[in-house]
Structure 1
């Protein structure tokens, strides 16, 4: 196909709609009307000679042809954007949009980012926190740091650190426990949305898991806040809350730990590593092991 005949604005509209999964969300990102998005897509389909989307109720589904075009187009636009980001004020800069699970951001990463900036002043890090549910493509991220087993469809993942979970609570609650694990049944056990964590810890401690009826949270930070106030006992990654243990707002109830996952740095498998990504990944892995 002759390059001058490729409508770049229509290609950008298609990439945004495919990434967002709807014309409405694409219109919001592009700051145009939904009708303008539909017009651009129709124009592109007419020029290309094939359909890009199957329109289904409440969702868009890429056709087989569009599935071939989408990752190539995303990569090309990202590379163009990366070069433009790097040419600022006659300085060679790169911007890295990093999605981070809140617990890791507040408990480890943010306190150490200055060290990265000193080593790589040409790389600008933009942090976007989440509750471990993140879509790299739809949210326009280059990187996502998340907790789990490292198996996510369509993503490349490298481990950063393993963080064992152990019960943490306020000093007043710890004194009531008296070092006796059987007393846990007399207290509220704060739970994350990963329902297997407390049962696995009880098994590790040599006990039958009790019936769990405590509130469920989507972030460990909220559980830590409530535990520090004496509301209950939270099963937390102690590495992420060392500062609270050091200050005494949280104390370790028992020595038993359980590993249910690790923190990973992830990227789209269809996207090549940039020099900024390489620098950030290497720094994360080296700093976490030191």
Structure 2
């Protein structure tokens, strides 16, 4: 008896039935699923009915020209799809074809340069036969890049038509060059830095300085400053002594560790946006290499805390 697995006695449905259901759900059609699986439409329909009988529920509403998932069917599809993706990824990782495979990745330039790049050696060591093609962007796109296998985006995680998995949640912190710091306590240093230097604003987040001042309990009016469109540019401007910047803490760690920038006030602000790995919902299954990379980057994020 298995005392640790509560599902040890449960008989799973045959894999063929599960494949038929997953393909039919993706295509919303028995006919298109049959084409993908190289079966007849009648065979796919029969396998899905067998699965429904085994589970004791109806998974599809049969419409005149298409299929619609029932509530139970819609709930069953995501874990089943993830299981197929994980199985494909594990198989590709362990027994994939010998020779180069190329994985195309698109992501925000600051995330790629400051967080992803220092960790890529681990991915390359694990899967040396997968070559990477990386393209960077500044603003989150609204559409999937058909040339990319992996899309990394910064936002609220809500992109219609896409599945998103959170990589990093964020808070922002104020940083400046060590030479800028004056004052004996947090409030004195904040007033000193803000009154004597241009403030660096990340475009789209110009209100963060105002929020920081309000949180500190000051009525100080922040002066005009410089707007910049990437975190890496804001960090470089701050390190050059142009002024203080409020930036994503988890992207600034190399600057803090090296001493190029310092936290002049022990304060942080949470933000709603995060970095996500995004995959399209639709008729195409992700490539196994893409699932390998998705699982790896989520593992790296967990190690990052």
Same fold (TM over 0.5): yes
CA distance in 1, matches of 2:110, 2:184: 26
**Cα distance in 2, alignment partners of residues 208 and 158 from structure 1:** 39
Question: Which among 158, 162, 173 is matched to residue 155 of structure 1?
Answer: 162
What is the deviation of 1:165? 0.8
Structure 1 residues 148-188: Cα deviation after superposition (integer angstroms, max 9, x where no partner): 21112332210011232101110111236863223343121
Structure 1 residue 133, shift from structure 2 partner? 3.0
Number of residue-to-residue matches in the alignment = 202
Is 1:268 aligned with 2:277?
Answer: no
Pair 1:125 & 2:132 matched: yes
Residues 232-257 of structure 1 show CA distances to partners (whole Å, capped at 9, x for unaligned) of: 11101122121211111111111111
Query: Partner of 1:199 in structure 2?
Result: 210
Aligned to 1:16: none
The normalised TM-score by structure 1 is: 0.63
Aligned equivalent of 2:198, options 188, 197, 204: 188
SS of residue matched to 1:164: strand
Root mean square deviation of aligned Cα: 2.4
Is the 1:198–1:209 contact (alpha carbons within 8 Å) kept by the matching residues of 2? Answer: no
Cα deviations by residue, 1:205-250 (Å, 9 ceiling, x for unpaired): 3445735521211101111111011101110112212121111111
What secondary structure sits across from 2:210 in the alignment? helix
Go from structure 1 to structure 2 and tell me whether the alpha carbon gap of 1:240 and 1:177 turns closer, same or farther (over 3 Å shift): farther
Q: Which runs of 5+ in 1 are unaligned?
A: 1-85
State how far apart, in whole Å, the 1-side matches of 2:119 and 2:164 are: 21
Q: Which residue number corresponds to residue 146 of structure 1?
A: 153
Matches of 2:128 and 2:255 in 1, distance apart? 31
Is contact 2:177-2:239 (8 Å) kept? yes
- 2 CA distance for matches of 1:94 and 1:206? 55
Higher mean C-alpha deviation, range 126-135 or range 202-211: 202-211
CA contact (8 A) 2:110 2:231 kept: yes
* Residues 91 and 109 (structure 1), Cα distance of their counterparts in 2 relative to 1, 3 Å cut: same
Structure 1 position 285 matched with structure 2 position 298: yes
In the other structure, the counterpart of 1:40 is: none
State the SS of the aligned residue for 1:112.
helix
Task: For 1:134 and 1:168, locate their aligned partners in 2 and report how far apart those are by CA, in whole Å.
Answer: 29
Take 2:240 and 2:289, find their aligned partners in 1: how far apart are those partners? 41
Question: 1:267 Cα shift?
Answer: 2.1
Aligned counterpart, 2:269: 258
1:102 aligned to 2:113?
A: no
SS in 2 for 1:117: helix
- Tell me, what secondary structure is at the counterpart of 1:99? strand
- When residues 265 and 185 of structure 1 are mapped into structure 2, their CA distance, relative to the original with a 3 A threshold, is same
> Would the aligned equivalents of 2:149 and 2:287 in 1 still touch at CA under 8 Å?
no
